[in-house]
Amino acid sequence: MSRTLVVIGGGIAGLSAALSAARRGFRVTLLEKNPFLGGKLHERQIGPYRFDAGPSLITFPHFFEAALGKEKLAFRKVEPHTHYFFSDSLSLTLYHDPERQSEELRTKLGTQAAYRWQRYLAYAKKLYERAAPVFLQLPIHDVKELLRSPLFWRHLSYLPLIDGHRTMHKAAVRLLHYAPLVQIADRYATFVGGNPYTLPATFHLISWVENGLGSYHVMGGLYQIVRAFEKALREAGVTVLLETPALRIHLRGKRPYAVETPKGSIDATAVIIAADHTYAQQNLLSRKSYPIPKQSLSGLVFLWGVKGNSPFGHHNILFSGDYEGEFRAIRAGRLDYEPTVYVCISARTDASDAPIGWENWFVLINVPAVGASWRDEDTVRFRERVIRRIQRVWPEFGAERIEVEEVITPAQWAAMHNSTGGSLYGMAPEGLLAAFRRPANRDARIPGLYYSGGTVHPGGGLPLSLKSGEIAAQLAARDLL
């Protein structure tokens, strides 16, 4: 019997869920409110400049290769992968190559620092090997699914050994001692929208993902991933409806039977919501009293076409002088802090992204998820702070070097993607059970309703969102086919 499935949301999680469900035998319709697919993974062409205007790096390229099958992407490892600039004028470059990395640290900080970094990466690798397979592959909230999985049983004995009882910062201080290395290690919390002073040390496994497994660029831009999914969806027979927001999920008894849109209702045996979980509860399911959890980081983005040859590489972090104070302010919803600045110049790897003699800068700072309360004057103030921070590394930089500019604020993230407060990762991951507090991939009260995306298990970021789509499709298939 044909089973019809509606996927709400055309970000990476929705694309992954739709493709995986179609390959499992569902007749799939994908709804996207915007006139383009990809969600936060989108690109902008401003004159001769091309920008990745959301996610700016790729990890786990094999996840995308496995999902897309014959649709090939040109992944290129970025080496060196990140340049760090500290408030005291120290700079450090991180390499995937262990020998080059050790030489960099011995030269800048001494032999003991190089040794401690190697030991820290060995620790991060162990965390990854113990926790990641179960966390990335299985619906951890579903006891029956866990108990029937050989993968879970193979890793069960590791659960007490994933360092979940202290924070990332405390673990980094203990292992690394050197303040610049501690700050680098703390930074990996932001990969999941987290705060290193509250996030469990387990999340240091992210450091191994970037440093050990590698960070990549997609030649032609990360949006090539979306284009590859579009082609795969067409071949799999998925119906894609752009500019078609879901308005409500209709239930018959306790099961979904249709999704209402401005263009009419679409029949559904099952529904996968690949959109902000809080928004879905309050609006698509009319659970108006659903509590809004504390939200993770939002971001203020500047897309700049910059004249001249800067001292920066592909990925660059310009740290603030008070990292803990910065996170404390963000957590309190304040805007009175000096931000850490991330600058991505993809033209360093893919020269076609900017004209010769110019650079395409994707500039991101972490800000509170304040949504529609963000004001134009907030953008102006942070723009000035960002320029001042850049000038401490490149004194010749100034507003006159910026040829083109676009801005993406928390209010715009919220409007484009229905994300609560403009949060980029959903609820803030805090406390010992941070990973388990994220919403599950299967609704506990509505059979036939599933969730995927960065706001549910396993979390934010492109690879995790992709996996969440596959997990949701797998659960739907197990329940209904």
Do 154 and 132 touch, CB atoms closer than 8 A?
no
Listed in sequence order, the residues at least 6 apart from 440 whose beta carbon sits closer than 8 Å to its beta carbon are 139, 141, 142, 451, 456, 457
Angle, vertex CA 365, rays to CA 428 and CA 165, nearest 5: 35
| Tokens of residue 283, six digits | 């609006």
pLDDT band of residue 2 (cuts 50, 70, 90) is low
Report CA torsion sign: 370, 375, 376, 378: negative
- Average pLDDT of the chain is 95
* 58-67, 134-143, 208-217, 325-334: range with lowest mean pLDDT: 134-143
Residue 252 phi/psi, 5-degree rounding, is: -120, 110
What share of the chain has pLDDT > 70, as a percent?
A: 99
In sign, the C-alpha dihedral spanning 381, 384, 390, 393 is negative
Pick the closest to residue 313 from 229, 394, 222 (CA basis): 394
Query: Do 180 and 87 form a contact (C-beta atoms < 8 A)?
Result: no
pLDDT for the residue 432: 65
The secondary structure of the chain in percent helix, strand, coil, rounded to multiples of 5, reads: 40, 20, 35
Contact indicator for 54, 40 with CB cutoff of 8 Å = yes
Q: At what angle do helices 462-480 and 61-68 cross, to 10 degrees?
A: 40
> Could you report the per-residue pLDDT of 269-314, keeping only the tens digit for each?
999 999 999 999 999 999 888 888 889 999 999 999 999 999 999 9
Query: Residue 311, by phi and psi: left (phi above 0), alpha (psi -120 to 50) or beta?
Result: alpha
pTM, full prediction: 0.95
Beta bridge partners of 30: 7, 240
